[in-house]
Amino acid sequence: VRSLRAAVAERQAEEQTATAALRTEVETLRASVAQARTEARTDPLTGAANRAAFDEALARRCQLATAGGDGFALIMVDVDHFKRVNDDHGHAVGDRVLTALVAFLRPRVRRDDLIARWGGEEFAVVLPGASVRVALKKARAVLRELAGTDWTIDAGPKLRFTVSAGVTAWRAGDEPAAVAARADQALYRAKHAGRNRAERG
């Protein structure tokens, strides 16, 4: 009987050790999957959400608004004269300008707002629950502050850059493409009206 009890106890200890090891492995795999999901939705250069994550968020926001939930505003932002930055300072500095822009935007929007890289030097900010008036005021305040900010690039002279913005809000019946197109058209008008400004769409 003693031998049997000892064998059972040993077997239980082995099973507990194996279970603990399996739990650790499962947690490691879960963490790896979560990290892979995050990386799949993140722009590797700037750390902003990528285009796929933005498209998903915009579609979800439109669905929620259509179902009677809160609406949202959308700000499209584009770096002014970005080609000139690349030509004058090199593409490495251009990349750092994009990274600096995202870092500048983060503390100036709410935690639930989404900053995403739309493409190239163009970014989108989704503001759940915001009206177009609130978003336009926010965009203009950010533009003013950014225009007066000096950026130190290596040991060279300080660099300044500006952005233009197009601002809109969800309207009844809007599909995601319509909201994005309206913000992009407003951005286009801001560019052609002299840059470093925000236009409403």
Active site residues: 121
Torsion over CA: 33, 36, 40, 42 (sign): positive
- Tell me how far CA of residue 78 lies from CA of 21, 119, 161, in angstroms: 50, 10, 11
| Burial degree of 148 (CB within 10 A; 0-12, 13-18, 19+) | exposed
In angstroms, what CA-CA distances link 163 with 24, 25, 106, 182, 189? Answer: 47, 47, 15, 18, 13
Quick one: which H or E segment has residue 59? helix 51-66
Beta strands 163-169 and 198-200, pairing class = parallel
Q: Rounded to 10 degrees, what is the CA torsion of 54, 58, 61, 62?
A: -170
DSSP 92: H
* Per-residue DSSP letter, 160: -
